[in-house]
Chain A
Amino acid sequence: MSIITISSDSYQLSQEIAEKTADILNYKCLGREILTTIAETDNIPESGLHNALDGSKSLLRMTGRVRNRYMACIKSAVLSRLLNDNTVCCGLAAHLYLSGVSHVLKVKILSDFKEHGSRIESEKKFSPRKEQHWRKFLEASQIDKTDASRYDLVINLGQIEKEKAVHIIIDTVKDRKFMPMTYSINCIEDIELESRVHKLLIERFPHSAVQAKRGSVVVKIRTFKYKKQEKSNAIKEMLNKISGVVHVDVYVKNYISWH
């Protein structure tokens, strides 16, 4: 039940590598075709899901709230599919929400810019001005795009061929460290439960934070003191209907608080 996530600056490239890897390993391949299903199930525009994965926050395009909701839907759908089978996942930012799971191999593929540069530019539809805007957003959010520590392996296709890259990935995933163990399976099940809970809560409680561990769910929200009980009860009622939830605790922080 190993999981491989493949990220790249070009979705087509990550899909190509993912499909080749999945083919050889006889794994399932999970890509952006899942967004169509998510759009139908959650009644969300599919283009919105694509933008949430590709674009930056912008007041003119998509508010943070909407983007967070779309990402919560994507996260929940992706994680539910990753629970069972050996899977290669690409183009769904899965490396971001699977960071604590030990049997996930996170790979980044850097394209040979000379060969793929124009394709990347057209995929992203980023003008230089928008690229600058995106860079400033990353700096303000203290996100270091050069940080390779999010990945286990970064492969540059400038000199290394795609087939070689696929073989490196395959050889790596055979290491016993990428075999699922009880602890890591529990870890991914907890993350999956968190994502389902968060997806349910996010529309009504957009600033909620969720943690889950073996069925016990802790929800943190911010609200006015006088609404504390009402909201707490509402959350518990919503969550008790979710399968896998054994116990719910709600921590409420006052909106008006010096701490």
Chain B
Amino acid sequence: MSIITISRGSYSKGKEVAEKVAGQLGYECISREVIIEASERFKVSEAKLIKAIHDAPSIFERISQDKKTFITYIQSAFASRLKRDNIVYHGLAGHLLLKGIPHVLKIRIIAEMKDRIATEVERENINEKHARLFLLKDDKARRKWTKSLYGVDPWDSSLYDLVIHIHKLTVDNAVDFICQAATSEQFKTTEISRQKMEDLALACQIKAALLEQNFDVSVISEYGNVLVYTKASDRSVYKLEKRVKTLSREIEGINNLEVRSGMQFPPDVI
């Protein structure tokens, strides 16, 4: 019983690996379903959400409030989905949100550039030169997006438990390793890890609710005790506190909800 996140570049056979792993372990395989759920829950079009998570900010552009809000919606839908356990997720940077959750097995699948080009040429019916350009551009954009959002390089192997290079190793080899690793003790759900997941989902839900009303906050939760951090001025803090009081009645699972302003944010806030 665990959560497996599979990070991959385009045409790296990550989706194939994810689906086979899910099939072998009897887990649910999700990717786009998170976008659909976020879209339904927060009443935002799927296209806008996809644009928010695909387009990296330009050098002159900071992440706009809209983009931050949409990303938070996706994170909230993602975290609440993963509370169910026994899931294989393949998509953008899911593992980075789940940093610190012990029963998450984080996998990265990489493939040879020439194999990726060949796959893209076959699927998209374009020539090799265009395929290569597209892949390089896509890799660069994904890297930039992850760095701007999470401050880490997604190609850094230390972010993952296992990095598998599909070249001499086949998709079936990768599936075997992942299934083997997923069944080890370290990746089994425990009470503590389940609680951490609940806390993460709660923090994301609260943050999304506050961002909807243009409060720029960071949130952390521990056993249902939620702290909302803000850099806003006194007047805004008053409004925020009012909103937070209503939220504590609306959302289940909150033991205590406090606002902290003018303080340094702890490192693991959402």
* Chain A residues proximal to chain B, CB less than 8 Å: 102, 105, 108, 110, 113, 144, 146-149, 151-156, 158-161, 164, 167-168, 171-172, 175, 177-178
Closest partner residue, chain A, to B168 (CB atom):
A177
Chain A min CB distance to B186 (Å): 5
Q: Is the CB–CB distance between A152 and B180 below 8 Å?
A: no
Q: From known contacts A147-B155, A153-B164, A160-B162, infer whether A172 and B173 are also in contact, taking CB-CB under 8 Å.
A: yes
Q: Is the CB–CB distance between B112 and A153 below 8 Å?
A: no
Q: What CA separation (Å) do A1 and B241 show in the bound complex?
A: 69
Partner of A159, one of B163, B180, B187: B187
Partner of A110, one of B158, B173, B176, B187: B158
Q: From known contacts A161-B186, A164-B181, A168-B180, infer whether A156 and B157 are also in contact, taking CB-CB under 8 Å.
A: yes
Question: Counting CB contacts under 8 A, is B110 at the interface?
Answer: yes
> Most chain-A Cβ atoms within 10 A of its Cβ — which of B160, B163, B186?
B163
Question: Counting CB contacts under 8 A, is B167 at the interface?
Answer: yes
Closest partner residue, chain B, to A167 (CB atom):
B180
Q: Is the CB–CB distance between A152 and B168 below 8 Å?
A: yes
What are the residues of chain B within 8 A of A158 when measuring CB–CB?
158, 161
Q: What CA separation (Å) do A161 and B161 show in the bound complex?
A: 10
Chain A min CB distance to B81 (Å): 22
Partner of B108, one of A148, A159, A175: A148
What are the residues of chain A within 8 A of B165 when measuring CB–CB?
148-149, 151-153
> Most chain-B Cβ atoms within 10 A of its Cβ — which of A148, A151, A167?
A148
Q: Is the CB–CB distance between B167 and A156 below 8 Å?
A: no
Chain B min CB distance to A139 (Å): 13
Q: From known contacts A156-B157, A158-B161, infer whether A148 and B110 are also in contact, taking CB-CB under 8 Å.
A: yes
Q: From known contacts A160-B181, A160-B184, A161-B184, infer whether A153 and B162 are also in contact, taking CB-CB under 8 Å.
A: yes
Question: Counting CB contacts under 8 A, is B102 at the interface?
Answer: yes
Q: Is the CB–CB distance between B157 and A175 below 8 Å?
A: no
Write 17 A-B pairs (CB below 8 A) sorted by A numbering: A105-B168, A108-B157, A110-B158, A113-B158, A152-B165, A152-B167, A153-B165, A154-B108, A158-B158, A160-B161, A160-B162, A160-B186, A161-B184, A161-B186, A171-B176, A172-B177, A177-B169
Nearest 5 pairs of A and B residues by beta carbon? A154-B163, A146-B155, A154-B157, A148-B163, A146-B156
Q: What CA separation (Å) do A201 and B177 show in the bound complex?
A: 44
Partner of A154, one of B102, B162, B167, B186: B162
Chain A min CB distance to B171 (Å): 13
Q: What CA separation (Å) do A159 and B100 show in the bound complex?
A: 11
> Most chain-A Cβ atoms within 10 A of its Cβ — which of B153, B156, B167, B169?
B169
Q: What CA separation (Å) do A90 and B43 show in the bound complex?
A: 55
Q: Is the CB–CB distance between A152 and B169 below 8 Å?
A: yes
Q: Is the CB–CB distance between A168 and B155 below 8 Å?
A: no
Chain A min CB distance to B169 (Å): 6
Partner of B110, one of A105, A149, A168, A172: A149
Closest partner residue, chain B, to A146 (CB atom):
B155
